[in-house]
Structure 1
């Protein structure tokens, strides 16, 4: 028979290990596009320690310099990940309203915005009963960047904690998986990953980019910001064609 004290000691050790494991996994939600929960972890998903987007203040130039001499792929439709350590990194993007419309026919979905990069598709979803105009932080529709400069979303001195990237926005894993499958079916072969989120802050910033484009703004000015944004919203959550 196992002594009572030994049993209590062993249970205590196991409980401690469970607490440690829970703490280690608490950095991000286990839901689709839930993003980073703790503002203390935001920095590890930045491409560079400089968050501002103003050229006069030191834009994240390291990657831009690295990419300057890269040659074009022989097959433009082939899979070419720009950085093997960062599946999100991009230098080209476009909106795809033709892909968004079929997704909006899904039950429980009121609006969808689809943004395509070289190898990824990003889907901003507004489920029924949600309004990102109300649920998101006001900064999502502010902090404009232009070719002449601007601090952007991450260049302010207000701190990371003001923005909640951990809110799943009411999107279920079932609906997220369904949308991913639909997007892959509609996508050209170069789109290898699909990232879906209903986080109201992510949705609102993507909508902001779209509005900027409609006003004639050159979206390349937001490229650094976007590369930081998607790392925070999708640190590990992705689905692949392969």
Structure 2
């Protein structure tokens, strides 16, 4: 139930931030963060709303023997992890493995409070696409709404 509360707060903040985004914003909303990863701001007035690829976390997860591939996107204090598992399990990730993945993510960024993990094939594909767009510095207009909808589908109960 606590995770549902956090997911609800996160989703609401996405919707409210996206609604206030400056439609005239362009490539000025791109910057490099202190970890060297590409960061996209939702709007120029509120730099608290960002979306970034967490390369360090991704590398740590991919070094786990259970994981073949991972994509990690961080927004505020939430991390979303899409994994392709070695045993080809799709959908929900075992609780013990989810905890190990969460620990790896949190070890790379002390500001992350919530980690959401899935091996759902659609989630994996979309996370890869979003990560590519962020890394290439492409504009993120509309990306947050799409991302929020996907997160709500994959994690409906906030788990």
Q: In the superposition, relative to structure 1, how do residues 65 and 221 fare at CA in structure 2: closer, same or farther (>3 Å)?
A: closer
State the 1:91 CA deviation.
4.1
- Please identify which structure carries the higher strand content: 2
Please state if 1:128 is matched with 2:81.
no
Contact 1:115 1:123 in 2 (8 A): yes
- Point out where structure 1 has 5 or more consecutive residues left out of the alignment: 1-46, 49-61, 69-89, 132-166
Q: How many residues align?
A: 122
State the 1:223 CA deviation.
0.9
Q: Which of 123, 143, 155 pairs up with 1:222? A: 143
- Point out where structure 2 has 5 or more consecutive residues left out of the alignment: 1-10, 22-47
> TM-score when scaled to structure 1?
0.44
Aligned residue number for residue 175 of structure 1: 97
Whole-angstrom distance in 1 between the partners of 2:149 and 2:17: 14
> TM-score when scaled to structure 2?
0.64
State the 1:65 CA deviation.
7.8
Aligned residue number for residue 131 of structure 2: 210
Q: In the superposition, relative to structure 1, how do residues 218 and 113 fare at CA in structure 2: closer, same or farther (>3 Å)?
A: same
User: What SS class does the counterpart of residue 102 from structure 2 fall into?
Assistant: helix
Q: Which has the larger radius of gyration?
A: 1
Aligned residue number for residue 16 of structure 2: 63
Aligned residue number for residue 110 of structure 2: 188
Q: Which of 99, 104, 108 pairs up with 2:57? A: 99
User: What SS class does the counterpart of residue 97 from structure 2 fall into?
Assistant: helix
Describe how 1:76-155 pairs up with structure 2 within 5 A: 91-130=49-88
- Root-mean-square deviation (CA, aligned residues, Å) is 2.9
